[in-house]
Amino acid sequence: MKHNGKKIVIIGGGIAGLSAAVYALKCGYEVQVLEMHDMAGGLAMSWRRGGYTFETCLHWLVGSKPGGEFNRVWKELVDLEKLTFLNPHEFVRIENETGDSLRLYTNVDMLEAELLRRAPDDIVAIRNFTHAIRTLGKFRLIDPSGGIADNWFNMLRDIPVMPLLMKLGKMSGKEYGARFADPLLRSFFTTGDMGKLTAIAMVLSLAWMNEQDAGYCIGGSQALIGLFEEKIAELGGTVRFNAKVERVLVDEGSAVGVQLCGGEAIPADWVISAADGHATIYEMLGGRHVDDGIRRIYADTESFASYVQVSLGVAMDLSDQPAMLTRVLCAPLVVDPETELPNLGFRFFHFDPTFAPAGKTAVTAILPTRNYKYWQSLRAEQPQRYRAEKGRVAEAVIGALEGHLPGVRESIEVIDVSTPATVIRYTGNWKGSQEGWLMLPGAGIKPFPNTLPNLDRFFLIGQWIMPGGGLPSGPMTARPAIKAICRRDHVPFDIQPEMHREEPVTV
Ligand SMILES: Cc1cc2nc3c(=O)[nH]c(=O)nc-3n(C[C@H](O)[C@H](O)[C@H](O)COP(=O)(O)OP(=O)(O)OC[C@H]3O[C@@H](n4cnc5c(N)ncnc54)[C@H](O)[C@@H]3O)c2cc1C
C-alpha cells in the first residue's frame, strides 16, 4: 500500500481502535494505535490462570456465517476464515433450584417445539415470538458509512420487516416478557439489563443465531483480536502498549496530536478516540467541546451495568453441561450493598479445548452490578476488605454451582475474581460498563454523533457512540470515520475483502 503522507493516531486498542487502524492502513495512512494496557482487546479480553483461560467477552460474534451480511464487513478487515466457529444448538438452559428447567435452542423450530411442549398455555405468545425470530432473520443492517446509493437494496429488503421492528423497538424486554405466563420463560426477558433493553436486542440476537450467523470462535475474543494485530503488523502499522493518552492536543479548533501520561507529545494529522467516550470528552478534551446534545447523552442515557466476574478452573470434564446455564435462585445472591441478583448465569467452556487442559473445564459467572464506586473505593482504601469481599462473592457463586453440580467444590483448583474496579483499571470504561449504552425502547438503531462541536480533524468511535455496543460496533463506527477522513483528504476509500487461504471450518 502506497503511503499517502498523512498520520492518524488512534487512542485505544479495543476492537474499534483496531478496526479503524486496519481501514486507515488500507487507505495508505500511517497509523499508530496507543493502548494503555499491555495487550490489545479492551473488553474483548481473556486471561490465563493456572492452566485455564477465562474469557470475559465472547458469547457470540454477529457476522460469523460465511457469505452473511456482517461477515463481509469482518472480511474487509481480517481473514475471518482463519477462525473456527461453533454454533451451539442449545443457547441457554434456565433452571430453578427446585429442579424445573427450560432449554432455549438456537434453531427456531426446535425452540418453538420445546416452548410449546413446556408452556402450551403461552401458545399465542410463543408463536409470535418465533415468528419474530424468523422474520428478523431477514433484516439487513444499514451501513452507517453509506448513503442511499449504498443502502437502497437493503432498505428495500427491510420494508416488510419494518412494522415488526418498530413494534419491538418501542417495547422493553420486561414488557415483552410479561406476555408469557411461564415463570422461567418470562425471567429470560425480564431480568437485569435484559429487561431494560428494547425487545429487538434479544429477538434479533436469536434471529442471527437461528441463521447460524452469531457463532462462538475457538480461542474466544482474543482469537479475533489476534487476527487484527496480525493484520496491522502486516500492513506496517504499530500498536504501542503501556501508552496512556492524557490529553488530545488542540490547536485553533483542530486536533493536532495527543499527549501521553508522562508528557510525550505525539503529533498527527487526525486523531481518533476509540477509548471511553466520557473520559475522552471530559478528561482528554477537558469538557471544552460539548453541546447540549452531548450533555444530555451523558446525563440521561443509561449505560450497561458493570460486573463482578467469578472464574473457576474445575478439574472435571463438564461436557455434559449446557454451554450457558441460568440458575433462578430461591434467595438472591448479594453482590455488594446495592446489588442482589435473583438469578445467576454460568458458562461452561467445555466446547473450547484451548481454555483448559484435557478433562478439565473453565467455568465463569458474570454478576452485573452498577455499584462500581463501592468496588473502586474498597480496592483503593481497604485492600484487605476488598480481597475478603471478592472471596465472599466467589464462595456464594460456588455455593450456587454446588446446587447444580453437587460435589463440584472438591474439583475447583483455580478461583479468580475480577470486579468493576478491575474493568475500569484495565479498560477505562465509564462506570465499568460492559457494553457502553443500553439500547433503550424508542431510541431506534442509530449511532450517536461521531464528531464534537468546534473540533476539527477528530472522531469518536466504538461502543460509546453505538448504543447496544458489542464487537460489531467496532467496524460499524470505524468505517464511517475513516471514510469521512478519506473524503476530506481526497483519498479513495477502496476496501477489498481479505482472501481466505484455507477452507472455512464450521463445527
Ligand atoms: C461480559 C461481557 C460480555 C460481552 N459479550 C459480547 C458478545 O458476546 N458479543 C459481542 O459482540 N460483544 C460482547 N461484549 C461487548 C464487547 O466486548 C464490547 O462492546 C466491545 O469489545 C467494545 O469495544 P471498544 O473498542 O468500543 O471498547 P473497549 O473494548 O473498551 O476498548 C477501548 C480501549 O481503549 C483503551 N484506553 C482507554 N483509555 C485509554 C487512554 N487514555 N489511552 C490509551 N488507551 C486507552 C482501553 O484500554 C481499551 O483497550 C461483551 C462485553 C462484556 C464485558
pLDDT at 507: 45
Q: Which amino acid is at 424?
A: I
Give me the pLDDT at residue 241, please: 98
Q: Are strands 7-11 and 30-34 parallel, antiparallel or unpaired?
A: parallel
How far does the centroid of ligand 1 lie from the alpha carbon of residue 345, in Å? 21
Annotate 155-180 with DSSP letters as a single string.
HHHHGGGHHHHHHHHTSBHHHHHTT-
Residue 228's nearest CA partner among 45, 9, 77 is 77
Torsional sign, CA 476, 478, 483, 485 = positive
Report the separation in Å between the CA atom of 435 and the middle of ligand 1, taken as the mean of its atom positions: 7
| Orientation angle between helical segments 162-169 and 199-210, nearest 10 degrees | 130
User: Strand 101-105's sheet: what is its strand order?
Assistant: 101-105, 90-96, 324-336, 339-348, 361-369, 306-314, 412-418
Whether the pLDDT of residue 144 is over 70: the answer is no
Mean pLDDT of the chain: 94
Q: Name the closest-CA residue to atom 35, ligand 1.
A: 12
Span 186-198, pLDDT tens digits: 988 888 888 999 9
Is the CB of 34 within 6 Å of ligand 1? Answer: yes
Q: Which of 36, 43, 74 most suits a substitution to test ligand 1, by most atoms within 8 Å of the C-beta? A: 43
Q: How far is the CA of 297 from the centre of ligand 1 (A)?
A: 19
Does the global pTM surpass 0.85? yes
pLDDT score for 60: 96
The letter for the amino acid at 217 is C
Examine the pLDDT at 505 and tell me if it is beyond 70. Answer: no
Ligand 1 site, residue 366, Cβ cutoff 6 A: yes
Tell me if 215 CB under 6 Å of ligand 1.
Answer: no
Pocket lining: 303 vs ligand 1, CB cutoff 6 Å: no
DSSP states of 97-138: TTS-EEEEESSHHHHHHHHHHH-GGGHHHHHHHHHHHHHHTT
Q: Check if 58 has its Cβ closer than 6 Å to any atom of ligand 1.
A: yes
Q: Are 215 and 184 in contact (CB under 8 A)?
A: no
pLDDT in tens, 227-237: 999 999 999 99
Q: Which atom of ligand 1 is nearest to the CA of 34?
A: 43
pLDDT in the model for residue 446: 82
Calculate the dihedral angle through the C-alpha atoms of 13, 14, 16, 20, rounding to the nearest 10 degrees.
20
pLDDT at 400 over 60: yes
| 499 band by pLDDT with thresholds 50, 70 and 90 | low
Read off φ and ψ for residue 342, nearest 5 degrees.
-75, -20
The radius of gyration computed from the CA coordinates of the chain, to the nearest angstrom, equals: 23
Is the pLDDT confidence value at 259 over 60? yes
At 273-295, the pLDDT tens digits run 999 999 999 999 999 999 999 99
The answer to whether the CB of 14 is under 6 A from ligand 1 is yes
Q: What is the pLDDT at residue 119?
A: 93
Average pLDDT over residues 165-170: 89
Counting beta carbons within 10 angstroms of the beta carbon of residue 349, is it exposed (0 to 12), middle (13 to 18) or buried (19 or more)? buried
pLDDT at residue 506 greater than cutoff 60? no
pLDDT digits (tens, 9 = 90+) for 40-86: 999 999 999 999 999 999 999 999 999 888 999 999 999 999 999 99
Cα 24 to Cα 14: distance, rounded to the nearest angstrom: 15
pLDDT recorded at residue 276: 98
Task: Measure 41 CA to ligand 1 centroid, in angstroms.
Answer: 7
Distance (Å, rounded) from C-alpha 139 to C-alpha 159? Answer: 9
